[in-house]
Amino acid sequence: MEITAGIVKELRERTGAGMMDCKKALLETCGDIEKAIDELRTKGLAKAAKKAGRVASEGVVVSYIHGKGRIGVLVEVNCETDFVGNTDEFRQLAYDIAMHVAATNPDYLAREHVPVEDLNREREIIKAQAMEEGKPEKVIEKMLEGRIDKFYKEHCLLEQPFIKDTDKTIQQLIHESVSKFGENIAIRRFSRYEVGEGIEKEKNDFAAEVMAQVNA
């Protein structure tokens, strides 16, 4: 199959990978764009692993404000050089992550950041629910593993499906960005604020509004 400039461009737009990497992936997969995407993602994971140990002390702090000031997010995303940190593409990446945080309201950055007491409390809740359902002990232990994994995916930013492309997680988005920019990329921290948060009042689903804006 002939690898046209059009299909290379499409693959590049869908993955963010370099043009030569896209062309090579298409050649290796006989022009199958879906297989080429998988190939690039796999290579992106490998590249990210090699670069993960490198210091990323540059980058940006970006803000995202939604609903006329009802929700505000600050996110720090790091890279290795100010050259990359000052590019529009890198800033767009950070902005997209901030928008994601506004919509999904994660509690932690990664599973290793979940405090032991929070994890133990979640385990106790899951176990109590399973016992209430009359599940045997052996089944409960298996359920715990699956439900804790689900807990991580719901509450940890890096494990959540990216709101602009739910086929990939935030971690996979970062890995693809490592391949794209050629530097170690890392989300260092984030904060989310919502007007009236912690004050008892009628509930407003601002997160749903953010999702609606993203999908519009």
Judge if 95 and 176 occupy the same domain. Answer: yes
Please check whether residues 78 and 120 belong to one and the same domain: no
User: Which residues span the domain enclosing 69?
Assistant: 58-108+158-215
Q: At 146, which CATH number?
A: 1.10.286
pLDDT, residue 95, reads: 97
The pLDDT score that the predictor gives to residue 18 is: 66
Query: What is the model's pLDDT at position 100?
Result: 97
Residues 6 or more apart from 188 whose CB is under 8 A from it? 59, 76, 77, 78
Task: Identify whether residues 120 and 31 lie together within a single domain.
Answer: no
Do residues 124 and 36 both lie within one domain? no
Cβ atoms of residues 211 and 99 within 8 Å: no
Are 162 and 104 found together in one domain? yes
Residues 163 and 85 reside in one and the same domain: yes
Buried/exposed 68-95: b ≥16 CB within 10 Å, e otherwise: eebbbbebbbbbbeeebbeeeebeebbb
Q: Which residues of the chain have pLDDT under 70?
A: 1, 13, 15-18, 42-55, 200-216
Strand partners, 165: 162
Task: Supply the pLDDT for residue 203.
Answer: 47
Instruction: Give the pLDDT of residue 1.
Output: 63
* Whether residues 76 and 164 fall in one domain: yes
Residue 132 shares a structural domain with residue 211: no
Q: What is the pLDDT of residue 183?
A: 84
pLDDT score, position 207: 60
- Domain check: are 139 and 163 in the same one? no
Same domain, residue pair 122 and 210: no
Tally the domains of the chain: 3
